[in-house]
Structure 1
């Protein structure tokens, strides 16, 4: 069986009933009683009308689903209901091959012309195609590859990312993974938690409404858009937050964001049954009370807690981000290059509040900029120009089009603003409205500022302006962004504990050193651990990867990632054994042999202490973190720096491990 990046061509046999209903459009015309003892096969419209007493004008299923036939056994036995789909029959063994063959032939019956005559039918590709509307389709294998690349892989990566973080939080001693409590998500103060909850409600509402109306062709695009939003907005923008450590309630928000993923799986179940079943079965292992299969679960229902305002806010944010990305691309300014300022021009105060207040932190981080300035004065950075909508006005105005067009083009800035306020204006006796005139906003740079220093992009509604000038105070941001990329290239997981070292490759090495030291806290937060000088790498360190990076904020440097290196205070360890160096070395060897993550967990449980009593012939000792050892060079470095500060601040007091 051929494979496409791990997804087999067996997907064409996903749900036979769905294929027959939604693609073939055929059902077995059988009416059956509730007890299954009475069946009637309908072979004509006349027969159906005669038995049901209902006038039939259309044989499509949604026009006859409601029709019932009285039982021949009397009213006490109720009525016969149909249609019975062939996939619901218990005797499928003999007929399954016929159904699959019949489905293979639908490419001819329904206008699908297979490229290179290959027998490849993928449900998600076909359901999201013109075939569902009985239109022609030129079948292309590239379309199937696109479904795998643009839908399944991002979806699986988002799921995998959330599971990785759940495992990491459990490993660090937080609460056990329980994904089905939605209360915290609904009550969260985080705007993206509120948004994903509302977006999920909107998804369920839309799918139910459209499926009830048999508009299958509108459902799949909406489902795909939700998956795209889940991966490219919620997961992407929350990566830093989901990876954070030790923040109150964060682990619960991480776990409880998954009910949205469950609802998404339920909605996608009929369209991608094997894929959703795989995800569902994995989550069943840690979730009590779930059915044996996702296909046994009830379809989700809406709770009515939708917030259209917050959904609109996130849509606006994505519009601004896309426009800013376009500016960067046009001016060859990659995202790893930090920029000083972005100006958002829009007359609506609510729009500006969304971008510069409510969603500000996400915009700043995603675009790698320092600040956002709102501007509600459309004329401060733009000039307005009016153009007639020829496609709309041409037929309507006829010979008068020339004179009207001339007057529209002659509109002044004040005229255009007045038109936008009132919604209409009269030219040569003709009243024109919003749809008749295009208002174009053209960016006007401040005097003495060039295109290389400032550029803009707009969509006719909002204008985004980026200050492209270099700013030395932003260099640390560019340096910090390279470290996660290096970790990713090395194939490291979020749960992997590593240490990161840098080495300046510039002639003047002090420039980079001064930036790293002056912005140490910022870089530590961005990287997830201290960024250490390469001279601190232990001779015994296990080097995972080393990467040379050029042209980031004008610097060239090397990043080295190693496994965690335990740092021992051998003098303090020797004191545990009254100066016995042999016993101290045995303890050191034992601790180095331990799994680092488990050792860290034991220190957390013991509140910074562990008891070692497994060394034969040696006394039981209590090993204290921060006194006898440090779990990494980074921890040791931060401790020494704190001790130096403490000594300088309180010269007459000796700092203890607790103080430091």
Structure 2
């Protein structure tokens, strides 16, 4: 009971299902193992659900219609490649769990679920943050949120027999936005693998993550920004990585260009290695002779083998699964390891141009600034729906570098944090600062980031004519508006389609105020209009 009190019955149940007990084998029970299930399964799962709820609420806060999931048939037809991928991965999860439960192989379900949740949080949610936060438009945001909603709903139904309490909690909240739904998740039918599974896109996204991991390893090795990755797998994957998946690789790795290449021998030399674990039992005493011939295969023979899918050596027919083709990097003539380096896993080879590039240096600094802002928001316990403005103050004697970076990377920073990064000099004296922190030695720069609640900005030149030039009336209006709750004032402007009438100030004539002309809800809006 102590374990259940600490971690819950669902966590204990999953721990036991994933243990030797279900195979009638002995188990050395460890309480830490149950905690591992909470950490590796339930926390990522709940975080994905929480991210959905926060951004669904954000739509209403920003004045849009409440979130209602788009019907499943429309979601399945989404043109976004990651929507297609996670929908396919969800159908694969349904199919896998059905097959394993039919065979009573419960112990295989948890590892597969772990991988699925890792993909959901670290690929789909991470790479789609802009869409989920509405940075790419309301329509695209609703499609991404609906896709995430559908994936979470299906995964809850699939796992309900194994995690009945956790899935019920999530379902009871999710069903509030459904037109028709069962009263409990345990009244729902088990999902059927009805949607289309796209094995090609699933494999392409897996390889994309391999490319990103390989490139990161090179960057860590050299501690430098990246420039030009080139990859060398099959034609279908090259088409995907150069098209649908290109933007995700460029953004995640901060690279200028991505050049796919299908000329295997241009940057690599090939060698073949026998898979002893597969061939040993099958070939027996012939293993030594066959292994020698495999290792002696020429590059042309290896290419022919990959194309044909099989090769006969010493009277034995070997398939692709029997031989591992290793691609060793062949550095271009006249270049050094510090200029061009590579990394591969036998399937994909990634080549990076490491020579210095000023624009990538500035982009790298911008990413560091964005990272510090996001961490400061988290440190201040701000929710995604909590609106704040970010201010930047350089602590360096030579401020030209920071000014150049903020100018050249202005659009990237705005897209990443959802608002412009403002100079501290324009922060209103009455601004309420909710978090502030100094940072030193960030790519050779030192600066202060301040987060403040949005503050009203008045265009006195536009308001003055409304009161026939009476400055005292303008001051009274400003005092009144500053006393109002900011969120309520924003809602009134939204309800009035950008206009409100102020007629409640004693001895002051009523006036009609236009948002973006007479008054601005934040400094960022005012600066944008002024520019």
TM-score, normalised relative to structure 1? 0.74
Match status 1:603 vs 2:485? no
Q: Secondary structure at the match of 1:8?
A: helix
- 1:544 touches 1:563 (CA, 8 Å); kept in 2? yes
For residues 465-515 of structure 1, the C-alpha deviation after alignment (integer angstroms, 9 at most, x for no partner) is: 222333211234223323234333333222222212222233321122123
2:212 match: 321
- 2:439 touches 2:446 (CA, 8 Å); kept in 1? yes
Further displaced range: 182-191 or 152-161: 182-191
1:489-528 pair list within 5 angstroms: 489-528=379-418
Match status 1:204 vs 2:94? yes
Specify whether residues 143 and 558 from structure 1 end up closer, same or farther in structure 2 by C-alpha distance, changes over 3 A only.
same
Distance 1:166 1:243 in 2: 9
Q: Secondary structure at the match of 2:326?
A: strand
Specify whether residues 433 and 151 from structure 1 end up closer, same or farther in structure 2 by C-alpha distance, changes over 3 A only.
closer
Specify whether residues 230 and 436 from structure 1 end up closer, same or farther in structure 2 by C-alpha distance, changes over 3 A only.
closer
- 2:83 touches 2:144 (CA, 8 Å); kept in 1? no
Q: Secondary structure at the match of 1:341?
A: coil
What displacement does 1:634 show? 1.5
- 1:342 touches 1:466 (CA, 8 Å); kept in 2? yes
Q: Name structure 2 gaps, 5 residues minimum.
A: none
1:538-553 pair list within 5 angstroms: 538-553=428-443
2:27 match: 137
- 2:363 touches 2:409 (CA, 8 Å); kept in 1? no
Match status 1:344 vs 2:231? yes
For residues 22-62 of structure 1, the C-alpha deviation after alignment (integer angstroms, 9 at most, x for no partner) is: xxxxxxxxxxxxxxxxxxxxxxxxxxxxxxxxxxxxxxxxx
Further displaced range: 324-333 or 533-542: 324-333
Specify whether residues 621 and 224 from structure 1 end up closer, same or farther in structure 2 by C-alpha distance, changes over 3 A only.
same
1:453 match: 339
1:40 match: none
Specify whether residues 148 and 637 from structure 1 end up closer, same or farther in structure 2 by C-alpha distance, changes over 3 A only.
same
Distance 2:273 2:113 in 1: 38
- What is the CA RMSD across the aligned residues, in angstroms? 2.7
Further displaced range: 501-510 or 137-146: 501-510
Q: Name structure 1 gaps, 5 residues minimum.
A: 15-120, 642-660
Aligned counterpart in structure 2 of residue 274 of structure 1, from 165, 170, 188: 165
Specify whether residues 123 and 390 from structure 1 end up closer, same or farther in structure 2 by C-alpha distance, changes over 3 A only.
closer
- 2:365 touches 2:405 (CA, 8 Å); kept in 1? no
- 1:609 touches 1:622 (CA, 8 Å); kept in 2? yes
Aligned counterpart in structure 2 of residue 623 of structure 1, from 510, 513, 529: 513
Specify whether residues 397 and 280 from structure 1 end up closer, same or farther in structure 2 by C-alpha distance, changes over 3 A only.
closer
For residues 511-570 of structure 1, the C-alpha deviation after alignment (integer angstroms, 9 at most, x for no partner) is: 221232233233322332112222222222222222333454443333222211211123
Q: Secondary structure at the match of 2:201?
A: helix
Match status 1:475 vs 2:372? no
What displacement does 1:125 show? 0.9
Specify whether residues 178 and 402 from structure 1 end up closer, same or farther in structure 2 by C-alpha distance, changes over 3 A only.
closer
- 1:480 touches 1:523 (CA, 8 Å); kept in 2? yes
- 1:454 touches 1:466 (CA, 8 Å); kept in 2? yes
What displacement does 1:393 show? 5.6
Further displaced range: 373-382 or 602-611: 602-611
Distance 2:324 2:102 in 1: 39
Specify whether residues 308 and 441 from structure 1 end up closer, same or farther in structure 2 by C-alpha distance, changes over 3 A only.
closer
- Structure with more of its chain in helix, by fraction: 2
What displacement does 1:317 show? 1.9
2:191 match: 300
1:440 match: 326
Aligned counterpart in structure 2 of residue 250 of structure 1, from 128, 137, 140: 140
Further displaced range: 574-583 or 426-435: 426-435
Match status 1:158 vs 2:48? yes
Distance 1:303 1:448 in 2: 55
Distance 1:218 1:396 in 2: 27
Further displaced range: 183-192 or 395-404: 395-404
For residues 328-353 of structure 1, the C-alpha deviation after alignment (integer angstroms, 9 at most, x for no partner) is: 333345xxxx422211122x211111
Q: Secondary structure at the match of 1:466?
A: strand
Distance 2:512 2:235 in 1: 62
Specify whether residues 307 and 440 from structure 1 end up closer, same or farther in structure 2 by C-alpha distance, changes over 3 A only.
closer
Match status 1:128 vs 2:18? yes
Specify whether residues 434 and 524 from structure 1 end up closer, same or farther in structure 2 by C-alpha distance, changes over 3 A only.
closer
Distance 1:457 1:477 in 2: 23
Match status 1:570 vs 2:460? yes
1:531 match: 421
Aligned counterpart in structure 2 of residue 412 of structure 1, from 295, 298, 304: 298
- 2:7 touches 2:38 (CA, 8 Å); kept in 1? no
Distance 2:470 2:194 in 1: 68
Distance 1:428 1:352 in 2: 35
Match status 1:8 vs 2:5? yes
Match status 1:613 vs 2:503? yes
1:226 match: 116
1:114 match: none
Specify whether residues 345 and 259 from structure 1 end up closer, same or farther in structure 2 by C-alpha distance, changes over 3 A only.
same
Distance 2:177 2:309 in 1: 57
Match status 1:588 vs 2:478? yes
Q: Secondary structure at the match of 2:49?
A: helix
Q: Secondary structure at the match of 2:257?
A: strand
Specify whether residues 395 and 196 from structure 1 end up closer, same or farther in structure 2 by C-alpha distance, changes over 3 A only.
closer
Further displaced range: 197-206 or 154-163: 197-206
Q: Secondary structure at the match of 1:222?
A: helix
Match status 1:216 vs 2:106? yes
Equivalent pairs, count: 526
1:632 match: 522
Tell me: higher relative CO, structure 1 or 2? Use CA pairs within 8 A at least 6 residues apart: 2
Distance 2:319 2:68 in 1: 55
What displacement does 1:374 show? 0.2
1:462 match: 348
For residues 181-220 of structure 1, the C-alpha deviation after alignment (integer angstroms, 9 at most, x for no partner) is: 2233122111111222222222222222332333322333
- 1:480 touches 1:526 (CA, 8 Å); kept in 2? no
- 2:273 touches 2:325 (CA, 8 Å); kept in 1? yes
TM-score, normalised relative to structure 2? 0.90
Q: Secondary structure at the match of 2:228?
A: strand
- 1:565 touches 1:633 (CA, 8 Å); kept in 2? yes
Which has more radius of gyration? 1
